Amino acid sequence: MIAEAVERVAAAQPGRAAIVTAEAALTYGELRERSWRTWAAIGDGVAAISLASAFHTARIVAALAAHGGIVAALDPRWPLAQRVQTITTCGVAVLVTDDAELERALRDAAWAGRTLDLEALERTERASTTASRTTAPGTTAPSTTAPIARPPCERPDDEPFLLLFSSGTTGAPKAFLKTCGQYRANVAVSRRRLGAHDGTVTFAPGPLSSSLTLYTLLEALATGGTVHLADALDDLWLTPQAAGVTRLVTIPAALHALVHAARRDPHRFAGLELIVTGGASLPPPLHAAVGEALPAARLVNYYGAGELGFIGKTRHGAELRLFDGVEAQVRDGDERLPEGGLGTLWIRSASCSDRYLVPPQPIMDAGGWATVHDRARLRGRTLELAGRDGDVVTTGGHTVSLLHVEQAFEGMPGLGAVCAVPLPHRHLGIAIALVVEGDAPPTPALRSWAAERLAPASRPRRWLRVERLPRTTGGKIRRAETAALVREEAS
């Protein structure tokens, strides 16, 4: 997938940019020469990367994804205990990190793997020009008895190459594997539907531990494109027009910053032709604002999950159309619901993973249907999303989607991000509270807005304000953590 594209572009246009960051850049010619040495230096088995540098994380991930082994990008901002647990329970054999505290914690945990800092890695890469190498999982330092043979260009479809993690919006991230074949199926969708083509220059702000940013890196290289990376979503406004960026991939929440920046300086973003968003629904008012600020750019929002791959393209709010090759069912327990029924969404496609590794938990059933426990209604090949299990609550005998409550407040002047959460109620069992972020309209105005747009059972009964809602490192709001804050305040 990646190795084939790198070889092809490096042979035809070795000077074409492959990976670009504010720190450094690599051309396809440089990536071809360096990536197999990186692979030789690290070895096969499971390798984890926990670095502050987006550039070095990207080049190492690209090398291992292309040539061998399984690679995981760990966010250095994750709690130390979480990173230690991930490394010690997921079979990691090699860790590349610049975090001395993490190294000490792993020694204290009696982890038996090998650690490399960047200096040691680069020294080993240089030595790899004359060193031989074994390919057994968990290999340590290479010996120096014979020249290295370059790795094969193509990895088989059933070979796992990425260790990914769930988004963590409903709890601690869970680990799962992706195979080369599953990602080839994803890349085929990107080519057909999401504008990933040979020579396309894409900007992807956000941490590489986010499956959205990580996939964009691999997708760009697999299609012969150029990817510009930034360490944080806050760097979105730095998009360089001079670099020839024509495509942006990010989460919907980041579009607010883009709209404000484009309104201040519309010429800076004049080169953008396509904006691709994923990871959350795209509010219609935000879609309209992007269209006004960047009329030359086409906006595409897709729905998918790291575990399931691409599922469909958003049409109106939470409604979407399934991509070709994707089958869907909606179930209540083991029972398949009739058309229009609200239940748990199950997907069958070539991109689905089968299970979580830690903790062990199935994603896929015996029939090849997989779920991440999203709630939805299905009519033909049109899906209407209603959030995750836990995002749908029963209050006073009525079933209410918390996602739909939040969507009702989209477009309210002066209102930023919101999160609807369930709270215990003496008479109703569960009542809905709306938590608003930062400055917001007064409570009477919020109540009036809700009364005009929501059925009585769906209207929030409590209204709270926080300076900043809890979020994952990828920018998604953590509903469970928000609810815990509200309960703590109430007590």
| Average of per-residue pLDDT across 110-137 | 77
Mean of pLDDT over the chain: 87
pLDDT at 232: 65
pLDDT at 252: 84
d(CA 61, CA 467): 36
Q: Where are the beta strands (DSSP E) in 367-456?
A: 374-379, 382-388, 392-395, 398-401, 418-425, 429-437
Any residues with CB less than 8 A from the CB of 140 and at least 6 apart, and which?
A: 43, 114
Does the pLDDT of residue 251 top 80, yes or no? yes
pLDDT at 445: 95
d(CA 331, CA 371): 10
Element (H, E) at 179: strand 175-179
Q: What percent of the chain has pLDDT over 90?
A: 61
Are the folds of 2-229 and 392-490 the same?
no
Does the pLDDT of residue 189 top 90, yes or no? yes
The closest alpha carbon to 463, from 481, 488, 484, 437, belongs to 437
Q: Give the number of other CB atoms < 10 A from CB of residue 181.
A: 18
d(CA 48, CA 429): 45
d(CA 202, CA 266): 19
Beta partners for residue 71, in sequence order: 47, 162
Fold of 2-229: Rossmann fold (3.40.50)
| Average of per-residue pLDDT across 364-378 | 94
Any residues with CB less than 8 A from the CB of 97 and at least 6 apart, and which?
A: 48, 49, 50, 51, 76, 103, 115, 116, 117
The CATH superfamily of 392-490 is ANL, C-terminal domain (3.30.300.30)
Q: What is the DSSP letter of 391?
A: S
Does the pLDDT of residue 14 top 90, yes or no? yes
The count of C-alpha atoms lying within 13 angstroms of the C-alpha of 210, restricted to the half-sphere facing its C-beta, is 26
Does the pLDDT of residue 3 top 70, yes or no? yes
Phi, psi of 281 (to 5 degrees): -70, 155
The answer to whether the CB of 354 falls within 8 A of the CB of 369 is no
pLDDT digits (tens, 9 = 90+) for 50-103: 999 999 999 999 999 999 999 999 989 888 988 999 999 999 999 999 999 999
pLDDT digits (tens, 9 = 90+) for 401-445: 888 899 889 889 999 899 999 988 876 778 899 999 999 999 999
The count of C-alpha atoms lying within 13 angstroms of the C-alpha of 242, restricted to the half-sphere facing its C-beta, is 1
Q: Where are the beta strands (DSSP E) in 317-402?
A: 319-322, 327-332, 335-336, 343-348, 355-358, 361-362, 374-379, 382-388, 392-395, 398-401
- Tokens 């340590």, residue located: 140
Phi, psi of 413 (to 5 degrees): -60, 135
Higher pLDDT, 161 or 481: 161
Does the pLDDT of residue 270 top 80, yes or no? yes
Question: Tokens standing for 13?
Answer: 């246009």
pLDDT at 241: 52
Q: What is the DSSP letter of 364?
A: B
Q: Give the number of other CB atoms < 10 A from CB of residue 146.
A: 10
Does the pLDDT of residue 25 top 90, yes or no? yes
The answer to whether the CB of 489 falls within 8 A of the CB of 466 is no
pLDDT digits (tens, 9 = 90+) for 156-187: 999 999 999 986 555 567 899 999 999 999 99
Does the pLDDT of residue 470 top 60, yes or no? yes
Beta partners for residue 230, in sequence order: 205
> Going by DSSP bridges, is the β-strand pair 429-437/17-20 parallel, antiparallel, or unpaired?
unpaired
pLDDT at 143: 40
Beta partners for residue 393, in sequence order: 400
pLDDT digits (tens, 9 = 90+) for 149-163: 555 567 999 999 999
Tell if the pTM clears 0.75, that is, is over it.
yes
Does the pLDDT of residue 382 top 80, yes or no? yes
Beta partners for residue 462, in sequence order: 433
Q: Give the number of other CB atoms < 10 A from CB of residue 167.
A: 24
pLDDT digits (tens, 9 = 90+) for 302-326: 999 999 999 999 876 668 999 999 9
The closest alpha carbon to 299, from 284, 318, 319, belongs to 284
pLDDT at 236: 59
pLDDT digits (tens, 9 = 90+) for 29-58: 999 999 989 999 999 899 999 999 999 999
pLDDT at 316: 63
Domain residue ranges in the chain? 2-229, 392-490
> Going by DSSP bridges, is the β-strand pair 274-277/247-250 parallel, antiparallel, or unpaired?
parallel
pLDDT digits (tens, 9 = 90+) for 210-240: 889 999 999 999 999 999 998 765 565 555 5
Classified as helix, coil or strand, 1 is: coil
